[in-house]
Structures are given as C-alpha cells and as structure tokens.
Amino acid sequence: MIDFFTEKITIYNDISADAVNARRFDRFVLDKCHIVKGRVPRADGTIENLINGKTVETKDVTRYKPPYEYRQMPVDLAKGFYTVQIGDFVVEGEVDDVVTTSREFAALQEKYNERGFVVRTVSDNIYGVNVDNISMSNVG
C-alpha cells in the first residue's frame, strides 16, 4: 500500500491577544502530510478543481489542540502542540523563519507566496481511529 502522507509543512499560527497575553505567531512543523494542489473538497462532498487551490491533510493529530483550547494553554506548554484556524499560514516543507509582529507575518506570506497559503477552511476529523486527519485549505 502506498503511503501518501510523507510530506512536511510548517504552520504559522496567528494567535490573537487576550486579557493576559499579547498577539503571537507560533511556528510548528507537521509531519505525515499530504498536499493536494488544484483539487479542493467542497462542503457538499464534491471536488472543485481550482488552479491555485491547495489542500493539506495531516495525520499528525496527536499534538493537535482545537483553537480555543490552544489559546488557553500557557505559552511554554503550547510549544509542544499546534492548532489550525482560519487566517493561519501554511508553507510547504520545513522553514525556520521567526515571526513576532504582524508586519513580519505579512512579509512571511509574501516570501512564501508560491509555496504557501492562508488557511480559509479547516476540518478536524479526529475520532480515535487510524484514518484520523486534519484538513486545511486555501479555498473558503
């Protein structure tokens, strides 16, 4: 059987400020990814072909936290986990750019425009079975 989940991505989470913490941009590298270009799943279960459409599915679900839960974690604990939400930025492959401001976040998106995308849709399909995955796409 062919394993399609062999690629890596780097996700930059845009974590909004709250009463205690300032806005921050967390970076996390995900293994076990499959990147599909041009074919994007639609809400009605069909597939739409888009020239610039990208979808990433990852089976790297053990370190995933839903956005609300992730934001509630202390910053030092959050380093071992990731989340996915609308507005995050995904780069194909592993990159090590550090982002600390919204200006740097915008510059990162420009720098990796050809091999990255802003997340527009997210689906976390985690049910405790071997097909669990998280899907993220740039088409909303």
E strands, the chain, are 7-15, 24-41, 47-58, 89-92, 116-118, 121-125, 133-137
Give the global pTM.
0.88
pLDDT bracket for residue 75 (50, 70, 90) = confident
- Token pair for residue 37? 């270009």
CA-based nearest residue to 70, from 55, 60, 80: 80
Write the burial class of residue 81 (CB in 10 Å: 0-12 exposed, 13-18 middle, 19+ buried): middle
Q: Which amino acid is at 56?
A: V
pLDDT of 35? 93
Overall average pLDDT of the 102-129 stretch: 95
pLDDT digits (tens, 9 = 90+) for 37-56: 876 556 576 666 666 779 99
pLDDT of 21? 81
Distance of CA 74 to the CA centre of its chain: 20
